Every structure is written in C-alpha cells, then in structure tokens.
Amino acid sequence: MGSVVVEQLRKDFSGVTVLQNIDLDIKEGEFFALLGPSGCGKTTTMRCIAGFESPTSGTIKIGNKDVAKLAPNERNCGMVFQSYALFPHMNVFDNVAYSLNIKELRKANLFKKIGVYTRMLNSKIVKYPKEIEKKVMDILEYVELTDHAKKLTSELSGGQQQRVALARALVMEPEVLLMDEPLSNLDLKLRHTMRNTIRRIQQDMKITTIFVTHDQEEAMSMADRIAVMKDGEILQIGTPTDLYSNPKTSFIADFVGTSNILPGKVVASENGLTTVKVGNQQIQSVTKTSKEDVQVIIRPENINVLSEGTEDTSNAFEGVIQFATYLGSTVRYDVKVGEHQIVVDTTYESGDSIKKNGSTIKLGVSPERVLII
C-alpha cells in the first residue's frame, strides 16, 4: 500500500487544457474521493495516475516513487472501470486470476510461459497452481461470490459484476485502488449496499483508494477526504464535515449538500459580528470578511422555525410557505422571504402537523450558522 502524491499536474488534449494545477497528497490507507460535475476532469486525473494518459507536465508519485517512466502495466494500480470492463470470454474465476497469471508469466521461462498463456486462453487445459487457486477463492469469498466462480460474467447481475471487478483489482494487491464512478450503473438500493461493501473492504484491507464520483452524497458518506473539482481545477480539499461547514466557494456550498445562497452587502462589522443586508433583511454572521459584496450561505437544517410570540432576535425573519415536502424524518419547506426563495428543513416527529401552503412562518438562524463568502 502506498501514498499518492500529485504535484502541479497539467494535461492538454491537442492544445486544450483539461487539467491544471492539480495537487493531491493522498495518505497511505486513505479513502480519497474526487468529486465534481461531469466533464470536470476526474477521469482524466485518474487515467494519468493509472498511466493511460501521460501528463503534459507535473509529477505523480505512488509510494514515494516517481511513476513517470513506468508503463501502465508496471504501476500496480488496481482499477475498477465504470463499465467494469470484465473479460466476457472468461468466467469469474479466470477474470479474477488474470493478474496472478500475468505475475507468473513474468517470472516463467519460455516453456512455462506457453503453459500460462494456454491457461489464460483456456483454463480447462492447464490447471492453476494451488497458491493461485487459494488466493482467488479467498478474495471471491470476501466479496461473496464463491458460488459463482465458474459462471460467465454475463450471467451475473450488475452488483455481482461490480464485485468481480473489485475482486479482480484487489487480488493483485495494488499500491492504490482506483475506482471511476463504480456505482453509477447500479440501481439506488444496490448502490447503498455497495457503498457499505466497498467501505468495509477498504477499511479491512487498509488500501489507499481514489474514488471518482459526481454524486456528493456518495463522496460524503464514504470518503475520508474529498477533493472538489471544477473545470479541470481543484477548488477545495477537505474532510466531508470540513467541506460541509466551511465551503470556500458558493459552488462547493451548493454542490456539497443543499444551501441557501443569497447575495448581500456588508453594512456593519462590530463585536465580532458582520451584518449583511439581504433584500430588506439584515443578517448577522460570525464570519469575518473584508469584501463588501458577499454571498450569505445558510444550510436548510440550520434555520429554526420560531413559535409565535417568540421575541425577535437579530436574525429572525418572516416568510410565506410556498410548498411543503414530507421526507420522512424531516419536512422541507420552500419559503418566500422578501424577494428570495429559501429552503428550510425541520425535524418531523410523529404527531407534528405540517404547516399549510400560504401560511406565514417565523424563522431564525444563529449567527454561528451563517457563513459569508
């Protein structure tokens, strides 16, 4: 297992820059997610690490070793492709054993080489040695596919194919495991199960993992740290809670979780409190800023519904409910405040009544929960 360090990576495709200033410092055993909208360069970053693209400039180190001179087949990065890329002409066992065959091929003399090649073309003719047999069966047990070892991959369900792809990458004991949107071809329920499976395996094996996704929920729920990418650059790197509570830009605030993002003007700054005018409303925040035109960011769950007759605090305002969505343990209200539309999440306990559309609602937020960018 190794760390992955990327410094000043840049990639041009025929003159067009699709990646620049990419710096990553991924620690041994870390589960690291690359998060960003489609087309932002996540796959390209990963392909540079795997060696399928050669960087225009910059360095990539895997386990403290510069890999610039290593061909993709010498890098020992296990990759799980979005399409799984299983070998359709081989059964599950042969798929998983592929890298072990290659390892044997490397040390074999000519005579043995022929044997290994024959086995890779038809494993019925030349048998696997005991060690390979055991290794493959162990990993198959690990991903719960022991019963399917002799099946063709096309006979498996999506989730099972995914696990074959995972097992095939893991069995080579890679320095780093690369996964490109591995869950995007699964249905919702399976996706949740697979999240847990992947996370469990990653923690068990303590394998350095880079996980590419455009789904913030997936990244937030699985990763130790996340790099948020946009237009070929990294905007912010941090733990999920870090990104959630301290987004550096409104793009991240919006992309990571739901946010109310409102434009405003700073009108005062005293006693450690910044006062911002948003519409007709004044909002106070503990965030310090030197700018005048700012954006106020408030998470929906940080807005409290104040009962009638509560004293007006500084950060209280009234709004009209446009729409209520019942989400199980929470209720989401779309509320019109002045000319702005905001979202408010409230916890829901059985017996509570849901407020009617058109009714007026009084809201409040503590200055600690108001972020200014």
Ligand X SMILES: Nc1ncnc2c1ncn2[C@@H]1O[C@H](COP(=O)(O)OP(=O)(O)O)[C@@H](O)[C@H]1O
Number of residues that bind ligand X (CB under 6 A): 10
> Which one of residues 26, 35, 40, 276 is an interface residue with ligand X (CB under 6 A)?
40
> Which one of residues 8, 21, 23, 39 is an interface residue with ligand X (CB under 6 A)?
39
Answer for the pair 209, 179: CB distance below 8 angstroms, yes or no. yes
Q: Does 41 bind ligand X (CB under 6 A)?
A: yes
Q: Which residue is nearest to ligand X (CB)?
A: 43
The residue length of the chain stands at: 373
Answer with the entry of Mg ion, ligand X, other proteins, none that 369 interacts with (C-beta below 5 to 8 A by kind): none
Q: What are phi and psi of 8, to 5 degrees?
A: 50, 45
**Min. distance of Cβ 98 from other proteins in angstroms?**
5
Residue bearing tokens 């290794």: 135
Interface positions with other proteins (CB under 8 A):
50, 52, 54, 68-69, 71-74, 76-79, 81-83, 85-89, 98-99, 102-103, 105-106, 117, 120-121, 168-169, 172
Looking at residues 97 to 156 of the shown chain, list those that interact with ligand X (rule: CB under 6 A): none
Looking at residues 21 to 80 of the shown chain, list those that interact with Mg ion (rule: CB under 5 A): 43
Q: How far is the C-alpha of 289 from the C-alpha of 107, rounded, in Å?
A: 63
Sign of CA dihedral 41, 45, 50, 52: positive
Answer for the pair 370, 260: CB distance below 8 angstroms, yes or no. no
Task: Determine the distance from the C-alpha atom of residue 262 to the mean position of all C-alpha atoms in its chain, rounded to a whole number.
Answer: 26
Answer for the pair 36, 254: CB distance below 8 angstroms, yes or no. no
* β pairing state of 371-372 and 293-298: antiparallel
Answer with the entry of ligand X, other proteins, Mg ion, none that 56 interacts with (C-beta below 5 to 8 A by kind): none
Q: Does 263 bind ligand X (CB under 6 A)?
A: no
Q: Which is nearer to other proteins, 120 or 145 (CB)?
A: 120
Answer for the pair 362, 326: CB distance below 8 angstroms, yes or no. no
Please report, as ranges, the residues that interact with ligand X according to CB under 6 A: 13, 18, 36, 38-44
Residue ranges binding Mg ion (CB under 5 A): 43
